[in-house]
Structure 1
Amino acid sequence: MTDTELPAEEAVETATLPLDAWHRAKGARMVEFAGYWMPIQYEGIMAEHLWTREHAGLFDVSHMGQISLEGEGAVAALEALVPGDIAGLKPGRMRYSLLLAEDGGILDDLMITNEGDRLGIVVNGAVKWDDIAYLRENLPDAVTLNHNEDYGLLALQGPKAATALARLVPEAMGLVFMQTARATWQGHAIALSRSGYTGEDGFEIALPNEALAPFADALCAMEEVKPVGLGARDSLRLEAGLPLYGHDLDPATDPIEGDLAFAISKRRREEANFPGAARILGHLADGAPRKRVGLTVDGKLPVREGAKLFDGNVEVGIVTSGGFAPSVGAPIAMGYVPTGLAEPGTALAAEVRGKRVPVVVAATPFVPHNYVRKQGA
């Protein structure tokens, strides 16, 4: 037995998504990710990426954790763990926020929705069990946490997503970015939000597991829609300048270092009563020692996660995400550098296979966001 193997009684079996058979029937190449077998591609990452930018791509994100909080004091209890203004979140609205450790480090980034009678939370699949345990440990007994495992989650992303989805769920057209609604489809209760993680207009749709395959079939029967895998989801979010937890964000990073100051609501800054407030507000006022930045790459050689960054001969940072960007037509990356080197236009170098590759600090997103923020936009 090697030191990387687990004893048989401790081995963790890779789980399957409710749509596992559907993906395989569509010709998906499956890989292990976040404890699940997931489709990385169907016809090719570049083709699927560009299809999503131009039409509508259907993603299965059912590996993510769907949680609800109910009970007296749920809002205040959640605000004790995140820096967002949850009390000010109106019914039918959602907000990006961060689950913070006691020292202000980021345990996860997540989406929080005011569903009227409860709070809905979507957390990252790779850390959902840790998140659930942390929430249960830190929430008062009066607050009930439900992990909604009987629901899957689909994301329909791209400029033609609204047109396609509205044929099945007319309520989609009434939403703008970060709004949510409840609806029914063929007798199934569903929840949808105008949101996503590609930088494009789009929706996330929560459905009962038994409804996922027929709903996905109905969407993919439309000429605008094709299934898209994990590979293109990653390149799309990288072009959009969106961090991936466990790569660009982790418990050693606070929101200011992670360039996520917008997630700290004004009221919460004034009250300074969220985890790690002294550290975070100090960095907000005086600057953090390092910052997450975008990087453009000179040439065609991709600069990937783990590559060291240099200012001259001095090692100054590290790449946390990187790859070829189909919409840009060149490699791009994200990483951490000292705040003094974080200004766009700063020339650095990345070490790739023992060679130095010129990179330049760049503003993000690398491609414009296309969110629909008001009706008719």
Structure 2
Amino acid sequence: MTAASAPSAVLLHTPLNALHLELGARMVPFAGYSMPVQYPAGLMAEHLHTRASAGLFDVSHMGQLRLVGADAAAAFESLMPVDVIGLGLHKQRYGLLLNDEGGILDDLMFVNRGEDLFVIVNGACKAADIAHLQARIGQRCEVIPMPEQALLALQGPQAVTALARLAPGVAQLVFMTGGHFELAGARCYVTRSGYTGEDGFEISVPATQAEALARALLAQPEVQPIGLGARNSLRLEAGLCLYGNDLDTGTTPVEAGLTWAIQKARRAGGEREGGFPGAARVLAQLADLSGAAGVLTRRRVGLVALERVPVREHTELQTEAGERIGEVCSGLLGPSVNQPVAMAYVRADQAALGTRLQAIVRGKAVPMQVAAMPFIPNRYYRG
């Protein structure tokens, strides 16, 4: 999901547009689409319902595509600091498309389905991503966009209860695995994943059958519709990045704190070390995680406000002595943690847990402290 949007352009509609309007959604421009930001219950109620039960999200604005061919895994791996070749059948992984300076073009999810690599990219980036893939690896594999597919996310501790009524087999999936299932008469591909920090599923469904599936899910007693507003607050509490806010083409995976997404095989000394765009810079930063060598100059951190003042993106951060050392990239009052939380990029020597900083909000210094993420424990189902 990305914050980028073009309100001046003609907005596209997802296959669930009529259903959103029927449910009383407030629609806003997002990534070139008209999307529901909230329903009549409101953002706070939707957020808390997802944490307690199950929420249904329309994420059909995101891009879905297939990479097909015997060389697809090796080709895709050449664009990312991620192990694609070693990914098992129906296993899912988080990936990062990098530019030649090691900056992040997009973050994405992909699954090895055997017959293809199934890739999900951010809505506002999808046209550029597809062009990038065609240009860089289009000679090595087929890059096939899937505009005929919609995408639904069912998230929360009761998501498995609700979805298993339609297809009992989904309960056998564990976090970051997928499979083919029939749901409400539609042939779907389901992964046990999502972007809320909760257990849940993402469902690729033919666009023509998406509304019927959404209605079948909303008919389950646990499930309520959830808009983009709560999706944003849920992902921030879970410490998850939003492309366009927390990630961009000028930020490397190491600066972004996404080193966990760089598997051992692609690191220094690994069997397929480097070989991705910007590898020299990224591997040098990996070797300097402390920032002592001056190669890694800034890092993404979690922050909690020590006063009850929400601190929004682009807010300046200073040391307690008044020296500017960074900027907030995402921030709000976390509904579940009931305190202001934020993510920010700060100078590497100010990134240690417990470091006291101050945010300048309307000319007033708000005390903040570097804190561990996620702000609320993740509840992914690992079996």
Common topology (TM > 0.5): yes
Q: Does residue 218 of the first structure (1) align with residue 179 of the second (2)?
A: no
Segments ≥4 residues shifted beyond 3 Å: none
Match of 1:294 among 279, 294, 302: 302
Q: Conserved in 1, the CA contact under 8 Å of 2:184 and 2:213?
A: no
Residues in 2 aligned to 1:233 and 1:301: alpha-carbon distance in whole angstroms: 21
Written as runs of structure 1 = structure 2, the 5 A alignment for 1:1-377 is 12-42=9-39, 43-269=41-267, 270=270, 271-287=273-289, 288-311=296-319, 312-374=321-383
AA of the residue aligned to 1:29: R
Deviation at 1:171, TM superposition (A): 2.0
Secondary structure of the residue aligned to 1:286 is: coil
AA of the residue aligned to 2:309: L
Gap runs ≥5 in structure 1: 1-5
Residues in 2 aligned to 1:142 and 1:128: alpha-carbon distance in whole angstroms: 20
Specify the alignment match of 1:3 in structure 2. Answer: none
Residues in 1 aligned to 2:266 and 2:288: alpha-carbon distance in whole angstroms: 18
Q: TM-score, normalised by structure 2?
A: 0.94
Secondary structure of the residue aligned to 1:126 is: helix
Deviation at 1:186, TM superposition (A): 4.3
Residues in 2 aligned to 1:191 and 1:24: alpha-carbon distance in whole angstroms: 26
Residues in 1 aligned to 2:138 and 2:31: alpha-carbon distance in whole angstroms: 29
Deviation at 1:142, TM superposition (A): 3.9
Gap runs ≥5 in structure 2: 1-5, 290-295
Secondary structure of the residue aligned to 1:215 is: helix
Give the direction of change, closer, same or farther, for the CA distance of 1:351–1:265 in structure 2 (3 Å limit).
same
Residues in 1 aligned to 2:24 and 2:341: alpha-carbon distance in whole angstroms: 29
Q: Conserved in 1, the CA contact under 8 Å of 2:15 and 2:150?
A: yes
Residues in 2 aligned to 1:268 and 1:250: alpha-carbon distance in whole angstroms: 22
Give the direction of change, closer, same or farther, for the CA distance of 1:187–1:218 in structure 2 (3 Å limit).
closer
Q: Which stretch shows the higher mean deviation, 353-362 or 58-67?
A: 353-362
> Deviations 1:245-282 (Å, cap 9, x if unpaired)?
11101111101100000111111112221111111111
Residues in 1 aligned to 2:18 and 2:60: alpha-carbon distance in whole angstroms: 14
Deviation at 1:212, TM superposition (A): 1.0
Q: Conserved in 1, the CA contact under 8 Å of 2:99 and 2:277?
A: yes
Deviation at 1:339, TM superposition (A): 1.4
Q: Conserved in 1, the CA contact under 8 Å of 2:184 and 2:216?
A: no
Give the direction of change, closer, same or farther, for the CA distance of 1:243–1:186 in structure 2 (3 Å limit).
closer
Deviation at 1:72, TM superposition (A): 2.8
Q: Conserved in 1, the CA contact under 8 Å of 2:197 and 2:377?
A: yes
Deviation at 1:335, TM superposition (A): 0.5
Deviation at 1:185, TM superposition (A): 2.8
Q: Conserved in 2, the CA contact under 8 Å of 1:324 and 1:331?
A: yes
Q: Which stretch shows the higher mean deviation, 109-118 or 186-195?
A: 186-195
> Deviations 1:278-315 (Å, cap 9, x if unpaired)?
11111111132111000001222210000010012111
Residues in 2 aligned to 1:277 and 1:190: alpha-carbon distance in whole angstroms: 37
Secondary structure of the residue aligned to 2:131 is: helix
> Deviations 1:163-209 (Å, cap 9, x if unpaired)?
10011122211100000001123442100000000000000001011
Residues in 1 aligned to 2:26 and 2:306: alpha-carbon distance in whole angstroms: 31
Q: Conserved in 2, the CA contact under 8 Å of 1:171 and 1:181?
A: no
Residues in 2 aligned to 1:154 and 1:87: alpha-carbon distance in whole angstroms: 28
Secondary structure of the residue aligned to 1:254 is: coil
Deviation at 1:39, TM superposition (A): 0.4
> Deviations 1:45-93 (Å, cap 9, x if unpaired)?
0000000000000000000000100013111110110111111101110
Residues in 2 aligned to 1:300 and 1:15: alpha-carbon distance in whole angstroms: 38
Q: TM-score, normalised by structure 1?
A: 0.95
Residues in 2 aligned to 1:195 and 1:170: alpha-carbon distance in whole angstroms: 17
Residues in 1 aligned to 2:354 and 2:336: alpha-carbon distance in whole angstroms: 21
Residues in 2 aligned to 1:159 and 1:247: alpha-carbon distance in whole angstroms: 28
Deviation at 1:26, TM superposition (A): 0.3
Secondary structure of the residue aligned to 1:83 is: coil
CA RMSD of aligned residues (A): 1.1
